[in-house]
Amino acid sequence: MDYVYGPGKSHLFVLGPVNIPEPVLRAMNRNNEDYRSPAIPAMTKTLLEDVKKIFKTTTGTPFLIPTTGTGAWESALTNTLSPGDRTVSFLIGQFSLLWIDQQQRLNFNVDVIESEWGQGANLDILAEKLAANHSHSIKAICIVHNETATGVTNNLATVRKLLGKQWMFIPVWAKQQVHEVKAITDIDFCWVHIIKNRLAVEAWGLKNCTQREEWYSDTVTAVLVPPYIDSAEIVKRAWKRYNMSLGLGLNKVAGKVFRIGHLGNLNELQLLGCLAGVEMILKDVGYPVKLASGVAAACAYLQTNIPMIPSRI
C-alpha cells in the first residue's frame, strides 16, 4: 500500500508541507459534500472569521484563493497594479527571485534591491529610494516576509515605518508566517523550539546561512555545510536511512545548505529526535561532529524553559 514504506513514524521537517494536528486530519476524513449546498458558505464564513484570528486582525479582509502561492502572487499584483508600474522588490533568495521573475514577466518596471543570499532585505537602500520618491513613481514594495531558502525573516514593521506618510501597496509573501503566529497564539512554546536550533548548529561547529540574528526565521534553520560536503547527500540519507525529510538547498545555495523546518504541529521531543538524526547523518557524510552535541545544547536550554502543558497542570 505504501509505495516506499518506512518503519515507524516518518519525521517531517521540511518547510511545507507541515505536520497536521490529528484532530484536523480526522476532521478532513469525510465523504465529499455538495459544494453548492448552503452548508458550504455557512462553513466558509466561519473559516474566514477564524483566519482573522491567525493574522491578529479584526479589520483586515481575508480571501481564499484556489490556486498555488505563485498564483496568489500573480493575482495580488495584477489586481492592484498596471503593466509598466514601478515596483521595488528585494532579491535575497530563491523565493524572492521567483517573485521578481514573475513581476518582470508581467511587465512591471521592477526596481530590484539585491543582497547576498543569507542577508535580509536592505532597508537602507529602500529608505534612500523612498526619500527620492518625489514623483511618487513607486507604486508598490514587494517583500517576502520569510525567505525560507536562506532562513531570513524581514522586518515588516520597519518597512511600514520607513514609508512615513507615503502611500503605496505592500504585497507580502508570508506563507510560513501563519504557522508561527498560530503556534505562538495557542501554545506559547514555539519560540522555545527555535532558539535551540541555533544552539545546536553552533554546537556542531557549523554556520547558519542566515547571517545576522535579527533575521533569524522562526520556522526554518538553514545550515551551511563545509565545502567538502554536498548538502543534497545529507537530505538523501535522512530519507533513506532515518525516515526523515529535510529541506534541500536551492539555486545559489544548492549543495551548500540543508534546511530544518520547525513549523506546524510539532513538539520538543520530536525536534530533539530530528537533531539527533541530523548529527548521525553529518557523521555519515564525513563531518566530524560530536554526536549528541547539538541535542545537549538544545536540552540544556529546553530543560530550563519548557512550560508545563497548561491542560495537564
38 versus 60: smaller Cβ distance to a copy of itself: 38
Dist CA 96 CA 118 (whole Å): 12
What the block records as the C-alpha cell of 274 is 530530528
In whole angstroms, how close is the CB of 150 to a copy of itself at the nearest point?
17
DSSP string covering 150-188, please? TTEE--HHHHHHHHTT---B--EE-HHHHHHHHHHHHHS
For residues 307 and 313, give the distance between their C-alpha atoms in angstroms, rounded to a whole number.
Answer: 10
Q: Does 229 bind a copy of itself (CB under 8 A)?
A: no
Q: How many residues bind a copy of itself (CB under 8 A)?
A: 84
Residues 12-71 that bind a copy of itself (CB under 8 A): 12, 14, 17-20, 22-23, 25-39, 42-43, 46, 66, 68
Distance of closest approach, residue 25 Cβ to a copy of itself, in angstroms: 7
Judged by CB under 8 A, which stretch of 5-13, 129-137, 147-155, 159-167 contacts a copy of itself? 5-13
Closest CA to 76 of 160, 169, 138, 9: 169
Q: Which of residues 125-144 bind a copy of itself (CB under 8 A)?
A: none
How is residue 311 written as a grid cell? 491542560
The answer to the question of residue 279 lying near a copy of itself (CB under 8 A) is: yes
283 lies in the binding site for a copy of itself (CB under 8 A): yes
Please tell me the distance from the alpha carbon of residue 269 to that of residue 298, in angstroms, as a whole number. Answer: 11
Indicate the residue among 106 and 280 with the shorter CB distance to a copy of itself.
280
